[in-house]
Structure 1
Amino acid sequence: MVCSFLHICAHHIKNKVLNRQLARSGETVSRNFHAVLNAVLRMHTILLKEPEPITEDSTDEHWKWFKNCLGALDGTHIRVQVPAHDKPRYRTRKNEIAMNVLAVCTPKMQFIYILPGWEGSAADGRVLRDAISRRNGLKVPQGFYYLCDAGYTNGNGFLAPYRGQRYHLNEWRDGYQPTTPQEFFNMKHSRARNCIERCFGLLKARWKILSEKSFYPIKTQCRIISACCLLHNYIRSEMAIDPMESEVGEMNNTPPEADPEPEFISHVEPSDAWIAWRDNLAHQMFESWQQS
């Protein structure tokens, strides 16, 4: 029954012109669309994935160095329709009118947290600061962290790569090998954090409404984005093999572990201790690789 329900919801979300296809009035389609949308959003406590840290005994080649890591986060731009007077705020550096959506996912590419609504011109770091300051926002327990790209601050709870060093996966092709601890760290970081990029790729490939011009109000567009993320999680949890998986690469696996009553990180800022910890980790990784 749940599967059928979500299939109907997906059908409603993907089709803006159901009134023509099913010979129903626009009012009927709109009423049912919002009813289904609301029903999916009410299931967020069930469909959002609980974070599970990487354990000490992990043998996953992508993640084994990142003990206590909970997953990866990043922002993505999703094109939206806004009134003319709002367009300057939503205009991205690529000159698109879009929303900056922050998302956090597990190594298995299931969403942990989604924050749509910020204008396309907003910096990723600003969106993240808003996320962790909200009462029901992103919770990062002390001692745990997420992988993020160089657009974010390398600080407690958020592990960023070294700037000014090779990082992106295409820079490690053609047999190029890292020559410094910083390059090796960046290579491993990039391969692990790539799960959020593949997650975005799957999301946008599956739900065409996220890549086409929408005529819904901005608040409804935010709700549609959240619903698509929840449906993505449902599909990932119910299907042993995702038919779209080959388009974005292979999944990683992470063993589960619980955290009882954590104290959460409440701000993002660089610290000498965190920078020293990253340097330490980079040297450990590089030395181990050289000895293997």
Structure 2
Amino acid sequence: MTGFEDLANLRLCAGAIDGTFVHIKKPALWGDTYWCYKNFIAIIMLAVCDHRCQFTFVDVGRAGCVGDAFTYRESSLRRLITSGEWLSEYAEDLDGVTVKPYLIGDSAFPLEQQLLKCYDRPTVPHHIRFNRALTSTRQKIENAFGFLKGRWHILTDNYIRDPGFMKDVSLVCAALHNVCQRANCEYNSTWTVEEGNYVRVGPPLPQAPVHELMGGGDVRYTIAQTL
């Protein structure tokens, strides 16, 4: 959290979350469900990273058609957060609002007490400042995916049809990525694959529903006021 705060002054940010697609060949069973919106066959990798682009959580293996928000909603990560087992130890009272450590995501994710995203069509200064801070901080997960797929092209070009085996391959690559990041291994920019293979490009996704009962709006407003 200290590392993320140093980047853009976002208090209590515990990680950046996003999803990326891992290429596979069409499986024999339920193959059409693995067709993703980018028009190739894939499984989804949902991941959280820290300010050093190291993965702190990875969920991989779901069919490419289901999307990031569904994967998050059904993940053990969300269950652990909402149950209070994760990200509940360092809550602070900011202007009368209890703010727990939270993740930051893009517009595909729901706005919740511990998952914040940008304001849609910001019009006031503190909304604009918040969006700028969140966007620059969230770039860490995009960088992490870029390094991951740049080092291990098997995630973007392979002949693997078994989603279960590709899940294992992906987890091993994510673990090796963390080893490289911790050891400050050199990364050659020529390794980087086409950007569309690891981040969303094109028009922004529609805003996912705002779950105000989860307190996301109050927390976002409170954090925005600190910038």
Q: What TM-score, normalized to structure 1?
A: 0.60
Q: Give the match's secondary structure for 2:22.
A: strand
- Report whether the alignment pairs 1:192 with 2:137: yes
Deviation at 1:183, TM superposition (A): 1.9
- Report whether the alignment pairs 1:235 with 2:198: no
Aligned positions of 1:213-228 closer than 5 A: 213-228=158-173
- Report whether the alignment pairs 1:141 with 2:83: no
Answer whether contact 1:101 1:114 (CA < 8 A) is retained: yes
Deviation at 1:127, TM superposition (A): 0.6
Q: Give the match's secondary structure for 1:115.
A: strand
| Aligned partner of 2:118 among 156, 161, 168 | 161
Q: Give the match's secondary structure for 1:71.
A: strand
Deviation at 1:180, TM superposition (A): 2.7
| Aligned partner of 1:275 among 213, 217, 220 | 217
CA offsets 1:23-73 (integer angstroms, 9 cap, x no match): xxxxxxxxxxxxxxxxxxxxxxxxxxxxxx238xx872x242x22211101
1:154–1:211 distance in 2 versus 1, CA, 3 Å: same
CA offsets 1:189-245 (integer angstroms, 9 cap, x no match): 000010000000000111010110332521110000000000010111123x53337
Aligned positions of 1:10-49 closer than 5 A: none
Task: Give, as a single letter, the amino acid of the residue that structure 1 aligns with 2:174.
Answer: C
Aligned positions of 1:171-210 closer than 5 A: 180-210=125-155
Rg (Cα) greater in structure: 1
Give structure 1 stretches of 5+ with no counterpart. Answer: 1-52, 166-177, 249-267, 286-292
1:67–1:114 distance in 2 versus 1, CA, 3 Å: same
Q: Distance in 2 between matches of 1:70 and 1:134?
A: 14
Give structure 2 stretches of 5+ with no counterpart. Answer: 89-99, 193-209
Task: Give, as a single letter, the amino acid of the residue that structure 2 aligns with 1:280.
Answer: T
1:273–1:201 distance in 2 versus 1, CA, 3 Å: same
Answer whether contact 2:113 2:219 (CA < 8 A) is retained: no
- Report whether the alignment pairs 1:67 with 2:15: no
Q: Give the match's secondary structure for 1:81.
A: coil
Q: Give the match's secondary structure for 1:271.
A: helix
Task: Give, as a single letter, the amino acid of the residue that structure 2 aligns with 1:114.
Answer: V
- Report whether the alignment pairs 1:80 with 2:24: yes
Task: Give, as a single letter, the amino acid of the residue that structure 2 aligns with 1:213.
Answer: N
Greater fraction of residues in strand:
2
Tell me the residue number matched to 1:112: 56
Tell me the residue number matched to 1:253: none
1:68–1:282 distance in 2 versus 1, CA, 3 Å: closer
Task: Give, as a single letter, the amino acid of the residue that structure 1 aligns with 2:22.
Answer: I
Percent identical residues: 25
Deviation at 1:269, TM superposition (A): 4.2
1:79–1:188 distance in 2 versus 1, CA, 3 Å: same
Task: Give, as a single letter, the amino acid of the residue that structure 2 aligns with 1:105.
Answer: C
Q: Distance in 2 between matches of 1:130 and 1:238?
A: 33
Tell me the residue number matched to 1:95: 39
CA offsets 1:236-287 (integer angstroms, 9 cap, x no match): 1123x53337988xxxxxxxxxxxxxxxxxxx944373312212322332xx
1:246–1:211 distance in 2 versus 1, CA, 3 Å: closer
Q: Distance in 1 between matches of 2:5 and 2:164?
A: 43
